[in-house]
Amino acid sequence: MHNILHHLLEKVELVVDGEGRRKAVIIDYSIWQDLLDWIEDMEDSAEIEASRTSGEETVPWEEAKAELRAKGINV
């Protein structure tokens, strides 16, 4: 997964001031979206791992979805 991040960050453009100090980063919007997706995937992975090791009872997605829909929540 880190290879994906490295690949995305290779396409970043740095903006520097007259003294060569880094001031800003410019990236294509598609790369920005890919970075956000990657961050979300990492968060999801961490959440899944935490739930697996917590010992808490889990509910299959289909069952949870049916319960939410019964409460009027459209998922």
Name the residue with tokens 């917590």: 54
Q: Is residue 12 part of a domain?
A: yes
Q: Is residue 35 part of a domain?
A: yes
Q: Is residue 75 part of a domain?
A: no
**Is residue 1's pLDDT more than 60?**
no
**Domain ranges, residue 36:** 2-70
What mean pLDDT comes out for the span 50-74? 90
* Helix, strand, coil percentages, rounded to 5, for the chain: 60, 10, 30
**Is residue 74's pLDDT more than 60?**
yes
Q: How far apart are the C-alpha atoms of 67 and 61, rounded to whole Å?
A: 10
pLDDT of residue 6: 81
pLDDT of residue 10: 83
pLDDT digits (tens, 9 = 90+) for 15-60: 999 999 999 999 999 888 988 998 999 999 998 888 888 888 888 8
Q: Is residue 29 part of a domain?
A: yes
Which of 38, 40, 10, 36 has the alpha carbon at shortest distance from 25? Answer: 10
Tally of domains in the chain: 1
Q: How far apart are the C-alpha atoms of 14 and 24, rounded to whole Å?
A: 6
